[in-house]
Structure 1
């Protein structure tokens, strides 16, 4: 009996290793292909659309996941099965660890610039809390439950993904919410902010204020928004790009703490208050 158990464990371990190896090779191939595609940029009206390699990687990942495409794509299981898909979820947090270290190293070397930046830069991170007040009620209205907590605690970029994944687990409902919003931001974020950056110049707001707003914690989205804004106001191009880069750097430094100490407690507090109301409404209770 003991020998049978050991054989089963050995067989399971070998199977897990094979799945891990297939997963790593698949990811490597996707990375090579998408890096060959490179970044594609084109204009749309006054805005600029930026398609990053990460977007192509998401599309390829969806194409090789059979359960997302139905029974007609069963042959794709030869490339990657749901075993590898499930395994990938547990490795997301490991992959984010180097990124967390990178954000940590931003604090020390840049502390002087953070202080010199002034209160406007330091307080601009509070704008991310608007997602709680606006997006949380909408998410609950649409029928989401604890997924809404992860999806609306912030803009759902890498720092938020790390915080939610560490606190609740990436496979939890909260983890599903933040990961879903993260992927939507990857697919549509650069397009949205590229257009928004170009069109925002017509609002009459100061271009440097709009440049600061471009630094929302995502390098790709910041580049798309500030690049389009700089083209719309070419006489202030250098200032716009400098303000956007500084704002984005500060968001990387302060965004993590904003999510931990402000965003997450606030979204949980509002969720407890609003969920009973929306739950009854979605069930049709009076």
Structure 2
């Protein structure tokens, strides 16, 4: 019977290390501290990531554990897709009631592609830029990229890097931005509350918390709209990422890199011609 069990499921060393890391991370719990009007929230996931990286440099982790962890991670991301789907289903009726406004809000998030991808390429980032810029890189984005490109792809490395960066600094950015817009612009606080729901619970909480501090008399409405917007963004964002944002990011990457390659070829040809002329 045991012979029929896949080797990666019998890797008790890997399972034991993962269990120990999870227990340590959960025992520490979340940690937060304020930065101006924003707040930095350190989740147990960050501790788990650091402990996992540290474990790689110990003799406990061998090449076999690397191979088995890749298989298990791919399988577990399938469960993540199922979890995201469970959140999307109940929100479909709400999406129909809200109408096109929420869809237009989600399409506005394409700014991550239109602005972020060219900047990433200017900074010298390669195909990682696709994973880094096609969304704000939350859980659903991890599932989409891993399913299309595979766990060891540069696109997956890109989306994981932004996922971790956003988990640490995203809430701070949203909290400070919401506070600034509420204080120095004439934008309606309820519109800002709707904009808080980009699909991340921590970012939404930081943004709506800052807005509630500026407009305490509207705190209940702000929290309600922000929460509803977040649920809808998770649902609509999944489809926008698959059918619009990711294809757009790939096409833009191919367009920019092909132009760069053509310029390099032209430059090399001109250099060769000058050398021949000088000879």
TM-score when normalising by structure 2: 0.83
Structure 2 residues not aligned, in runs of 5+:
269-279
Tell whether the 8 Å contact from 1:194 to 1:224 is kept in structure 2 after alignment: yes
CA shift at 1:218, angstroms?
A: 1.6
| Distance change in 2, residues 1:198/1:158 (3 Å) | same
1:255 — aligned with what?
A: 237
Q: Does 1:164 align with 2:145?
A: yes
Determine the C-alpha separation between the residues in 2 that align with 1:149 and 1:48: 28
Number of residue pairs aligned between Structure 1 and Structure 2? 263
Q: Does 1:216 align with 2:168?
A: no
TM-score when normalising by structure 1: 0.81
Counting only pairs closer than 5 Å after superposition, residues 1-286 of structure 1 correspond to structure 2 as 16=8, 20-66=11-57, 76-78=58-60, 80-81=61-62, 83-204=64-185, 205-279=187-261, 285=267
Larger gyration radius, structure 1 or structure 2? 2
Q: What SS does the aligned partner of 1:64 have?
A: helix
2:273 — aligned with what?
A: none
CA shift at 1:246, angstroms?
A: 0.9
1:75-119 alpha-carbon deviations (Å, 9 max, x no partner): x233x3454345323322321222222222234323222222243
CA shift at 1:134, angstroms?
A: 0.8
CA shift at 1:55, angstroms?
A: 2.1
Determine the C-alpha separation between the residues in 1 that align with 2:184 and 2:266: 41
CA shift at 1:282, angstroms?
A: 8.6
Determine the C-alpha separation between the residues in 2 that align with 1:191 and 1:46: 8
Determine the C-alpha separation between the residues in 2 that align with 1:242 and 1:63: 41
Structure 1 residues not aligned, in runs of 5+:
1-9, 67-75
Tell whether the 8 Å contact from 1:49 to 1:194 is kept in structure 2 after alignment: no
Determine the C-alpha separation between the residues in 1 that align with 2:265 and 2:201: 41
1:205-235 alpha-carbon deviations (Å, 9 max, x no partner): 2222222222111222222222233223222
Cα RMSD of the aligned pairs, angstroms, is: 2.6
Q: What SS does the aligned partner of 1:109 have?
A: helix
Tell whether the 8 Å contact from 2:34 to 2:40 is kept in structure 1 after alignment: yes
Determine the C-alpha separation between the residues in 2 that align with 1:283 and 1:48: 48
| Distance change in 2, residues 1:56/1:231 (3 Å) | farther
